[in-house]
């Protein structure tokens, strides 16, 4: 993919450099591994988080005493994982004086964390911070994660729709927007093919932190130490024909199945942010900048359409057009909603998820929003792209999107 450089006035403005820019000095992620089966199935989320937090500052030789605040996107743990996140930061060599919080805006939690830190820097509350995300779906995912809800609240139809299983919302999107099973399977197969090709070509290597961890062999129950350094949900050789054989997962006559939905995964990512002036003063590398982000609500029963509305909202804030964006990282919660978003916006599919998306790589809920930034910066380097947008739909009916610039 070569990037056609658009040179609108808005794009020139976004590309220009100012001392007050919120810049990214490091962005790192773990490999994304299969829930209950993959490389991190026996690794607790706080340990995964500790690894990426430590790497975020060590990679650029930053004294951890200079980190003022950390926000961590995390969706599934009891109590929102607030205490384990604090423990992870301390274990990562970050001093007790550095504050931390977890944030849960479902699938956008990692991006919400980055936005929080960027806004704190912008407001002058802090100088340096980390926006991160983690999820161990091995440990948290399943029926136990649902709360019981007041009957009175459930009398509101939209409120009740928030309890629909995600797979049913995917079926609703497919039905409402006439997205056929064949179209979804073709999209999903391309995601696998792009990710498999990228993995073979070593295109994920720069963004992944190799992690040594313990892993229990399910056959022998023997505990081994393993090095987890690649995404283990990516499969080579997936075709629309092979996906066509899979049974629908949520409705007898449905179109959503295990092969055209995001994988249940474990992973973590961290993004270190500061002002350009601070980065220059401390001699820190500048990988890119955070421009801004937007969130919008959509009907809960078709929650997957979120990116179709969040992307125009964030572009409107920056004055950018779709043509000004060199590429998009749109989370593939389901093929149905990813296809709907791309079609609705009229984006060329060659500009979306250049190295594959969550259908092939996986979607550890709290991590994805931060993971997409590490991936986006890698893709920018590989393709020469500068301006990129990350986006995702959000359970309960929302969408979030953000604009980043790579300065590779």
Distance, C-alpha 33 to centroid of its chain:
14
Judged by DSSP in three states, 388 sits in strand
Residue in 107, 162, 344, 367 annotated catalytic: 107
Reference 273, options 107, 154, 398, 126; nearest CA is: 126
H/E run at residue 307: helix 306-318
Task: Report the distance separating Cα 156 and Cα 95, nearest Å.
Answer: 46
Residue in 51, 257, 363, 367 annotated catalytic: 363
CB of 370 closer than 8 Å to CB of 133: yes
- To the query of whether residue 107 is one of the catalytic residues in this protein, the response is yes
CB of 17 closer than 8 Å to CB of 277: no
| Cβ-proximal residues to 380 (8 Å cutoff; 6+ apart), any chain | 288, 326, 327, 386, 388, 406, 408
Residue in 51, 257, 367, 393 annotated catalytic: 393
- To the query of whether residue 367 is one of the catalytic residues in this protein, the response is no
Task: Report the distance separating Cα 268 and Cα 23, nearest Å.
Answer: 20
Task: Report the distance separating Cα 53 and Cα 72, nearest Å.
Answer: 10
Judged by DSSP in three states, 70 sits in strand
Strands (E), 36-190: 69-73, 99-103, 128-136
Task: Report the distance separating Cα 8 and Cα 158, nearest Å.
Answer: 40
Phi and psi at residue 361, to the nearest 5°:
-90, -35
Q: What count of other Cβ atoms lies within 10 Å of the Cβ of residue 262?
A: 26
N residues, the chain: 408
| Cβ-proximal residues to 151 (8 Å cutoff; 6+ apart), any chain | none
CB of 203 closer than 8 Å to CB of 5: no
| Cβ-proximal residues to 52 (8 Å cutoff; 6+ apart), any chain | 28, 29, 30, 132, 134, 209, 268, 269, 270
- To the query of whether residue 162 is one of the catalytic residues in this protein, the response is no
Judged by DSSP in three states, 118 sits in helix
The residues assigned a catalytic role are: 107, 363, 393
């Amino acid at each position: 993919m070569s990037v056609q450089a658009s040179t609108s006035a808005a794009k020139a403005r976004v590309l220009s450099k100012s001392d007050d820019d919120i810049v990214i000095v490091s962005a790192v992620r773990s490999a994304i591994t299969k829930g209950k089966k993959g490389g991190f199935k026996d690794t607790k989320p706080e340990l995964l988080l500790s690894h990426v937090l430590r790497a975020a500052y060590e990679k650029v030789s930053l004294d951890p005493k200079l980190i003022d605040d950390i926000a961590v996107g995390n969706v599934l743990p009891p109590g929102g994982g607030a205490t384990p996140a604090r423990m992870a930061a301390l274990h990562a060599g970050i001093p007790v004086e550095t504050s931390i919080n977890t944030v849960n805006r479902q699938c956008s939690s990692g991006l919400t964390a980055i936005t929080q830190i960027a806004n704190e820097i912008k407001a002058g509350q802090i100088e340096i911070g980390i926006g991160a995300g983690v999820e161990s779906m091995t440990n948290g995912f399943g029926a136990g994660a649902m709360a019981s809800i007041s009957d009175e609240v459930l009398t509101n139809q939209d409120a009740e729709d928030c309890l629909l299983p995600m797979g049913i919302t995917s079926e609703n999107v497919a039905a409402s927007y006439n997205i056929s099973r064949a179209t979804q399977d073709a999209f999903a197969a391309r995601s696998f093919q792009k990710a498999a090709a990228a993995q073979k070509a070593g295109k994920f290597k720069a963004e992944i932190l190799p992690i040594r961890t313990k892993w229990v062999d399910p056959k022998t129950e023997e505990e081994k130490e393993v090095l987890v350094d690649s995404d283990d949900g990516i499969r080579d050789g997936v075709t629309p024909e092979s996906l066509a054989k899979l049974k629908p997962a949520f409705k007898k006559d449905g179109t959503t199945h295990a092969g055209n939905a995001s994988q249940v995964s474990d992973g973590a990512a961290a993004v270190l942010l500061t002002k350009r002036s601070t980065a220059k003063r401390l001699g820190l590398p500048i990988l890119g900048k955070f421009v801004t982000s937007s969130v919008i609500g959509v009907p809960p029963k078709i929650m997957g359409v979120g990116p179709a509305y969040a992307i125009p909202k964030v572009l409107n804030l920056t004055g950018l057009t779709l043509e000004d964006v060199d590429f998009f990282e749109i989370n593939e919660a389901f093929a149905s909603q990813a296809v709907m978003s791309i079609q609705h916006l009229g984006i060329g599919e060659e500009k979306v998820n250049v190295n594959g998306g969550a259908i092939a790589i996986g979607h550890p809920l709290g991590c994805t929003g931060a993971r997409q930034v590490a991936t986006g910066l890698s893709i920018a380097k590989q393709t020469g792209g500068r301006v990129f947008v990350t986006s995702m739909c959000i359970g309960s009916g929302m969408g979030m999107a953000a604009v980043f610039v790579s300065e590779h």
